[in-house]
Amino acid sequence: MDIKEIMEQMTLEEKAEVCSGGDFWHTRAFERLGVPAVMMTDGPSGLRKQGEGGDHLGMLESVPAVCFPSSAAVASSFDTALAGELGAELGEECQAEDVALLLGPGLNIKRSPLCGRNFEYYSEDPVLAGEMGAALVRGVQSRGVGSCIKHFACNNQETGRMVSDSAVDERTLHEVYLAPFETVVKRARPWAVMCAYNKVNGTYCAENRLLLTEILRDDWGFDGMVVTDWGAVKDRALGIRAGLDLEMPGGTDRGTKQILAALEDGSLTEDELDLAVENVLSFVEKAQAGSRAVAPDLERGYRLAVRMAARSAVLLKNEGGTLPLAEGAPVALIGDFARDPRYQGGGSSHVNSAKRSNPLDEAPAGVVFAQGYREADEEPDRALIDEAVAVARAADAAVVFAGLPERYESEGFDRTTLDMPAAQNALIAAVAAAQPRTAVVLMNGAPVTMPWADDVAAILEMYLPGDGAGEAMVNLLYGRVNPSGKLAETFPVKLADNPSYLNFPGEDDRTEYREGVFVGYRYYDAKELPVRYPFGHGLSYTTFAYSDLTLGADAFTEGGELSCALTVTNTGTRAGEEVVQLYVAPPAGMRRRPVRELKRFAKVVLEPGESARVTFTLDARALSYYEPLLHAFFAESGAYGIEVGASSRDIRLHATVAFTATRSLPRVISAYSTLADVLAIPAGAQMLGPVLERMAAGAGVAAGSDDVEGARAMLAGIQLSSLVGFGMIGEEQLEGLIAQLNAAQAAAQTE
């Protein structure tokens, strides 16, 4: 395709038509110009290709495909190579089905565990979400198929999702909610970005020039296509001016008419329209260049789904070596999910599975089954529970399969509770009372409360494990596979502990992100709140020791790098994998920051007794927060803790590095600035630091006290203008001092 030539031949109406889809899943074709229609489909957990009709809630049938573990599960693997392998497999299926663009992955941060779509998102942590997302996008696009990251941005709830306004400050926006998108755009160069339904700070994402142009294109260098979420468009012409290219779904002329009317009244220029047209045609051109396979290898995809589910599972608890189970031992499998597991989420990610397994069919000889509850049950059925208790008591061990029914969590609505159905909680409590070797296998898209957690011997979190659920669970329970997943989100003790509790889902279609950057473990660790299971937690059937953390230098400067290395040893009797997590603990500074933040991670495979040296490299960005005064990421000079551990609450090794910033913050000094403001500037500290010390010492003597620290803290709050009022300096001296301080600041900014 010669895009420039095609655009020269296009009429204004055709240019307007390019910017709307041809139907529910295709771009618009222009036969006379040689522009074909290309197809896009959901989603990151498996291909959801539909025929002539289409819907965005997963209600209509789609082609048979492989349902892979949900993103919540994949993130728990902490394995970017595995995410890349999944992406490549999804790309293969897209090729075979002549699909040009896969709508995913979802990169939204898990602000609240109540978000009904959390199973589609990776993590509460932006670094983990960004790394896993970038790996999946690279995998998909390695097969000549595009990936569309979503939902841009601050789409963190389903309640009022079409109209809600996410009110979030600049620092939190960049540091937490935009960071995963930034990582994927810069590291993986996705073909497309999907704008979200909601508003951000009063402006719909589909019309938000700050998001779609100034940040996405100008700051991050995105050169692909921006497409709406299905039905997200409000004012089509305003969207084009903001940086929105393609409206989906298509099939009507509404958008075309709006664009033509805006061209006619001058509120939209042809040059602005041409930018959108070129981006859509460039996408079509890339789509046509991709090769196509003959047929999808669904059996190969299923085998990958089994392996992924096993490698993503998180062993939360395992007392007394309850797991793994002994092959051939009498074991009771209990619960409706044992024969019909909850394996995928609801809504647009719903896959028409070609093949799937369940634990009961995959279990070895020697197991007995009791239903325990019906999937639809809310209240306990005493007869079913009594039967389950009898079966459990007669066995060597019991495994209860439980979790959240699909009616509890889905696209389109949020949860109202973290509790599982009362029928399931009552069953688990009763079985645990009868059988001390009781294990619980959970199938859920997001955290749940566990009132029985202290009473059961083992808990295995599977999230939504995909088509291979049955095989993967049995392989894990019997030790054929060693669990190696870690939680990508915190499991709180109760819902009220969550930092967004009082502000989710908001009121009057407005949600205030008052917790700021303190999302997930950043909040729980800063508050020192007890949690059920912390971020990064996960056990194994073996044990690991950490030792010998060394840094490449005692200090480094902005623009440089720091190497960090440590040794991990498998101290148990089984081969296993450990996720090594590196956190940065910032010093106290002008801005309040989390106690620690995940910055690097690696998954290490070790045989019994084997050791491996793990190396990470840090730069200034890894030490940074987003500074509103600079409108950029910034790390203050100071001593930073380098912490390595097995979770955010299990830090095994610690070292300290001195960091020197080459930039200073652009503080503007006025007569109303305090002495503390002035002392935060190097020139100010040099000029007025000795003055403050003399004042503090004098105040202490006058008060008959030697508390110089207290006097210093009190005096630091004095405004410069007060120095004139106290007769310490004159008005002209004050003006000269302010001019001198601001000149020093300006000079520092230009260095």
Catalytic residues: 229
Q: What is the DSSP string of 203-234?
A: EEGGG-HIIIIIIIIIIT---SEEEE-TT--S
| Angle (CA) 225 227 228, round 5° | 160
Structural element, H or E, at residue 685: helix 682-702
- How far apart are the C-alpha atoms of 164 and 171, rounded to whole Å? 20
Whose structure tokens read 């240019």?
15
What is the sign of the dihedral through the CA atoms of 62, 65, 70 and 71? negative
Whose structure tokens read 């009429």?
11
Task: For residue 281, give the nearest of 239, 225, 204, 326 by alpha carbon.
Answer: 225
Residue type, position 487, single letter: L
- How far apart are the C-alpha atoms of 219 and 53, rounded to whole Å? 39
The one-character DSSP state at 576 is: E
Task: For residue 688, give the nearest of 710, 711, 727, 720 by alpha carbon.
Answer: 720
- How far apart are the C-alpha atoms of 539 and 317, rounded to whole Å? 7
- How far apart are the C-alpha atoms of 117 and 151, rounded to whole Å? 11
Strands of 438-575, DSSP E: 438-443, 458-461, 491-492, 510-512, 531-533, 544-551, 555-557, 561-570
Q: Radius of gyration over alpha carbons of the chain, in Å?
A: 29
- How far apart are the C-alpha atoms of 30 and 513, rounded to whole Å? 45
CB 1 within 8 A of CB 34: yes
- How far apart are the C-alpha atoms of 129 and 750, rounded to whole Å? 35
Task: For residue 310, give the nearest of 112, 478, 497, 96 by alpha carbon.
Answer: 478
* CB neighbourhood size of 153 (10 A): 27
Three-state SS at 744: helix
Half-sphere exposure of 267 (CA within 13 A, CB side): 13
Residue type, position 385, single letter: I
Residue type, position 445, single letter: G
CB 505 within 8 A of CB 495: no
CB 182 within 8 A of CB 222: no
Do you know the residue count of the chain?
Answer: 751
User: How would you label 268-285 residue by residue, b for 16+ Cβ within 10 Å and e otherwise?
Assistant: beeebbeebbbbbbbbbe
Task: For residue 495, give the nearest of 425, 419, 444, 428 by alpha carbon.
Answer: 419
CB 134 within 8 A of CB 142: no
Strands 101-106 and 64-65: unpaired
In the sheet that 561-570 helps form, which strands lie side by side, from edge to edge? 544-551, 561-570, 611-619
CB 558 within 8 A of CB 660: yes
- How far apart are the C-alpha atoms of 751 and 742, rounded to whole Å? 15
Q: Residue 336: which residues within 8 A CB-CB, separation 6 or more?
A: 371, 372, 373, 374, 375, 401
- How far apart are the C-alpha atoms of 4 and 15, rounded to whole Å? 12
Three-state SS at 715: helix
What is the sign of the dihedral through the CA atoms of 58, 194, 141 and 10? positive
Strands 561-570 and 544-551: antiparallel
